[in-house]
């Protein structure tokens, strides 16, 4: 296996790990209000 | 009449024969496709869930703005999307679409690139895996960008339809024929470019040799349609059998499609 192949596989693995991190933490990275709190915001005060 | 004189028919037979003679390839190709579908489902499901949440929130907020604006000038739907309090969710929605595009592209380039490399390896002497994968990713960046643009337009039209339906209080339906035609053209050239690894050659060949390539695509479509009929018929008998046979049929037809298109494109190139 050439040096370029090893580098390619390492970069590929790092990209895949970064994407898995984003997907696993999707609720923290893209927060939305809880459904009940969101529904309450439509109730006339 | 000797139908094997026609390239489309001759390569059809040749591709099936090649698939049955290279069982190792068929198994590897099926496995790669299976991993692609499973990974696609597991990785994109949380992003799709989050996108759905955002569509509901944005739809509710915009339709509320429309509702309270009765008697005054109603804001245009697209303007409303980029005004507070909706804009923060609109930007998050666009960010989620970018994440989805990136995740799907990496999965697609890695696994479908490998599947096309496997198909090329049974048709002719292929490039090395890394070189093929990099060429595949480079070529498919354009098709993917076009598909992403198509998906965004489709999503915005869907969002608009939801908002209008909520504001009017009734369902609004409609299929955009132009959008579907554009998607068909993108898929046609993307598939031609997959064994060639060249956008310029794909355009030249796709237009110049449309007389051969379009019938070949009709043959491919006929296989998927036939498979669909078989699966639907099995569904009336037993759901488990339908699922198992349907999955195996899909994987076989996908492997055959790549071999067939690689052969046809190579012959006419």
Q: What is the mean pLDDT of residues B123-148?
A: 90
Q: What is the pLDDT of residue B2?
A: 59
Does position B176 have pLDDT exceeding 90, yes or no? no
More confident residue, B166 or B235: B235
pLDDT single digits (tens) B23-79? 899 999 999 999 999 999 998 999 999 988 888 888 888 877 777 766 666 666 667
Interface pTM, i.e. ipTM: 0.77
Which of B11-25, B174-188, B246-260 has the lowest average pLDDT?
Answer: B174-188
Measure the CA–CA gap between B147 and B187, rounded to whole angstroms: 9
Please name the residues in contact with B259: beta carbons below 8 A apart, sequence gap of 6 or more: B15, B18, B19, B119, B122, B123
pLDDT grade for B253, boundaries at 50, 70 and 90: very high
Does position B172 have pLDDT exceeding 90, yes or no? no
Does position A44 have pLDDT exceeding 60, yes or no? no
More confident residue, B22 or A34: B22
Percent with pLDDT over 90 in chain B: 51
Q: What average pLDDT is seen over chain B? A: 87
Q: What is the pLDDT of residue B134?
A: 92
Measure the CA–CA gap between B7 and B260, rounded to whole angstroms: 11
Instruction: Give yes or no for B41 touching A (CB within 8 A).
Output: no
Q: What is the mean pLDDT of residues B248-258?
A: 95
Q: What is the mean pLDDT of residues B119-142?
A: 90
Range among B18-32, B122-136, B153-167 with highest mean pLDDT value: B18-32
pTM above 0.90, yes or no: no
Percent with pLDDT over 70 in chain B: 91
pLDDT grade for B154, boundaries at 50, 70 and 90: confident
Residues of chain A with C-beta less than 8 angstroms from the C-beta of B43: 19-20, 23
Q: What is the mean pLDDT of residues B6-27?
A: 90
More confident residue, B260 or A44: B260
Does position B148 have pLDDT exceeding 90, yes or no? no
Q: Which of B57, B60, B99 sits opposite A22 (nearest CB)?
A: B99
pLDDT grade for B163, boundaries at 50, 70 and 90: confident
Yes or no, beta carbons of B130 and A4 under 8 Å apart: yes
Q: Which of B47, B60, B130 sits opposite A23 (nearest CB)?
A: B47
pLDDT single digits (tens) B80-94? 777 777 888 889 888
Q: What is the pLDDT of residue B171?
A: 67
Yes or no, beta carbons of B130 and A20 under 8 Å apart: no
Q: Which of A8, A15, A26 sits opposite B106 (nearest CB)?
A: A15
Instruction: Give yes or no for A38 touching B (CB within 8 A).
Output: yes
Q: What is the pLDDT of residue B198?
A: 92
């Amino acid at each position: 296996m050439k040096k370029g192949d090893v580098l390619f596989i390492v970069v590929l693995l790092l990209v895949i790990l970064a994407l898995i991190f984003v997907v696993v933490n999707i609720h923290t990275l893209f927060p939305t209000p809880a459904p009940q709190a969101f529904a309450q915001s439509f109730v006339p005060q | 009449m000797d139908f094997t004189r026609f390239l489309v028919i001759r390569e059809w037979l040749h591709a099936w024969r090649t698939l049955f003679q290279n069982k190792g390839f068929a198994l590897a190709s099926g496995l790669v496709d299976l991993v692609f579908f499973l990974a696609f489902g597991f990785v994109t499901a949380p992003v799709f869930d989050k996108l759905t949440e955002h569509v509901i929130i944005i739809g509710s907020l915009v339709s509320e703005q429309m509702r309270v604006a009765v008697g005054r000038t109603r804001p245009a739907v697209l303007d409303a999307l980029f005004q507070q309090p909706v804009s923060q969710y609109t930007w998050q929605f666009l960010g989620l679409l970018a994440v989805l595009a990136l995740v799907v592209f990496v999965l697609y380039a890695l696994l479908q690139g490998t599947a096309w490399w496997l198909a090329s390896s049974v048709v002719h002497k292929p490039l090395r895996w890394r070189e093929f994968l990099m060429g595949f990713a480079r070529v498919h960046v354009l098709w993917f960008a076009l598909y992403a643009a198509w998906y965004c337009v489709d999503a915005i039209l869907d969002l608009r339809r939801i908002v209008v339906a909520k504001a009017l209080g009734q369902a609004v339906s409609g299929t955009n024929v132009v959008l579907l035609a554009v998607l068909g053209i993108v898929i046609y050239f993307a598939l031609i470019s997959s064994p060639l690894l060249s956008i310029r050659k794909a355009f030249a060949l796709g237009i110049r040799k449309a007389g051969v390539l379009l019938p070949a695509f009709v043959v491919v479509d006929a296989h998927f349609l036939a498979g669909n009929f078989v699966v639907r018929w099995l569904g009336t008998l037993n759901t488990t059998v339908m699922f198992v046979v349907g999955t195996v049929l899909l994987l076989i037809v996908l492997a055959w499609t790549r071999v067939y298109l690689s052969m046809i494109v190579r012959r006419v190139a």
